[in-house]
């Protein structure tokens, strides 16, 4: 079973920042938080991951709370192409088996 | 560099028929995975192979067999297809033992009548 909790769906206006929350209250000290997204029926695409510190790359930013029980994925300037299902996943370092839940369906509104 | 490729893209089977889904990657990755995704659901791991010559069960292995033919190829076989196996099947690979980035194939859409 997925160990993370995400809202089923969210809307965001085009050009605005999309903030996608994730709860992972049972995360252990050596587990990373990963974000993937799946556009339409394509294979999932890696976005970003982090352990304790906030992370940023060319696609998004990841904000992890100090107690590590939750995190937020931020798409700074959402475009229509960001419409997708976003998955937040815990990963045990050395454990190669990612568990995908049902994710958040993000719809970018023109 | 084609990444992860899967064949076929679409397949329709009758109950009881068998088939093999093929997956290949040209990135010299060590680990490969097979997932299934039912409508409106997340991905569920069927089998994975941490390295050439090894395979392990995932969350939903029943009804499937796998074969890691070499480092590049990882096949998934349905010996006797059932309607419950109607799904989209994704293959993925990662460079080494750490899942920092999984690379996914385009998927195979399988319908079992």
Tens of pLDDT, residue by residue over B25-59, are 999 998 899 999 998 888 899 999 988 889 999 98
Nearest CA in chain B to A39: B106
Least confident stretch, A24-28, A39-43, A83-87, A95-99: A95-99
| Residue range B54-112, pLDDT digits in tens | 999 998 999 999 999 899 999 999 999 999 999 999 999 988 655 567 899 999 999 99
Nearest to B102 among A93, A98, A103 (CB): A98
The pLDDT value recorded for residue B34 is 96
CB A32 within 8 A of CB A24: no
**Mean pLDDT within A34-47:** 91
Distance, CA of B87 to chain centre: 11
CA distance A105 to chain B (A): 10
Nearest residue to A37 via CA among A49, A28, A23, A52:
A49
The pLDDT value recorded for residue A2 is 52
CB A88 within 8 A of CB A7: no
Nearest CA in chain A to B106: A43
With an 8 Å Cβ cutoff, is A74 touching chain B? no
**Mean pLDDT within A57-67:** 94
The pLDDT value recorded for residue B107 is 96
CA distance A35 to chain B (A): 10
- Determine whether the interchain pair B102/A97 forms a contact, defined as Cβ–Cβ distance below 8 Å: no
- A–B CB contacts, 8 A cutoff, strictly below: 58
**Mean pLDDT within A12-27:** 93
Average pLDDT, whole number, for chain A?
A: 89
The pLDDT value recorded for residue A36 is 93
- CA pair distance B76, B46, nearest whole angstrom: 9
The pLDDT value recorded for residue B63 is 96
DSSP E strand boundaries for B26-78: 31-37, 43-49, 56-57, 65-68, 74-78
The pLDDT value recorded for residue B74 is 97
The pLDDT value recorded for residue A19 is 98
Nearest to B88 among A41, A93, A96 (CB): A41
pLDDT over threshold 80, residue A97 = no
With an 8 Å Cβ cutoff, is A36 touching chain B? yes
- CA pair distance A4, A2, nearest whole angstrom: 6
- Determine whether the interchain pair B92/A99 forms a contact, defined as Cβ–Cβ distance below 8 Å: no
CB B27 within 8 A of CB B103: yes
The pLDDT value recorded for residue B55 is 94
- Determine whether the interchain pair B101/A100 forms a contact, defined as Cβ–Cβ distance below 8 Å: no
Nearest residue to B84 via CA among B64, B105, B65, B66:
B64
pLDDT over threshold 90, residue A84 = yes
Torsion angles phi and psi, residue B9, rounded to 5: -85, -35
The pLDDT value recorded for residue A93 is 52
**Mean pLDDT within A68-90:** 94
Nearest to B99 among A42, A91, A103 (CB): A91
pLDDT over threshold 90, residue A23 = yes
């Amino acid at each position: 079973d997925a160990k993370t909790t995400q809202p089923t769906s969210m809307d965001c206006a085009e050009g605005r920042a999309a903030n996608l929350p994730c709860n992972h209250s049972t995360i252990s000290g050596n587990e990373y938080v990963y974000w993937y997204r799946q556009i339409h029926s394509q294979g999932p695409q890696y976005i970003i991951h982090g352990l304790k510190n906030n992370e940023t790359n060319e696609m998004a930013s990841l904000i992890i709370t100090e107690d590590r029980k939750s995190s937020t994925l931020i798409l700074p300037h959402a475009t229509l192409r960001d419409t997708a299902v976003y998955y937040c996943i815990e990963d045990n370092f050395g454990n190669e088996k990612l568990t995908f839940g049902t994710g958040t369906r993000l719809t970018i509104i023109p | 560099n084609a990444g992860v490729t899967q064949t076929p893209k679409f397949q329709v089977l009758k109950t009881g028929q068998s088939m093999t889904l093929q997956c290949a990657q040209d990135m010299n990755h060590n680990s490969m995975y097979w997932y299934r995704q039912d409508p409106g659901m997340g991905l569920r791991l069927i089998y994975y192979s941490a390295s050439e010559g090894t395979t392990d069960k995932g969350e939903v292995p029943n009804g499937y067999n796998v074969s890691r033919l070499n480092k590049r190829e990882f096949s998934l076989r349905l010996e006797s297809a059932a309607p419950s196996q109607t799904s989209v099947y994704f293959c993925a690979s990662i460079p080494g033992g750490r899942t920092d980035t999984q690379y996914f194939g385009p998927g195979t859409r399988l319908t079992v009548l």
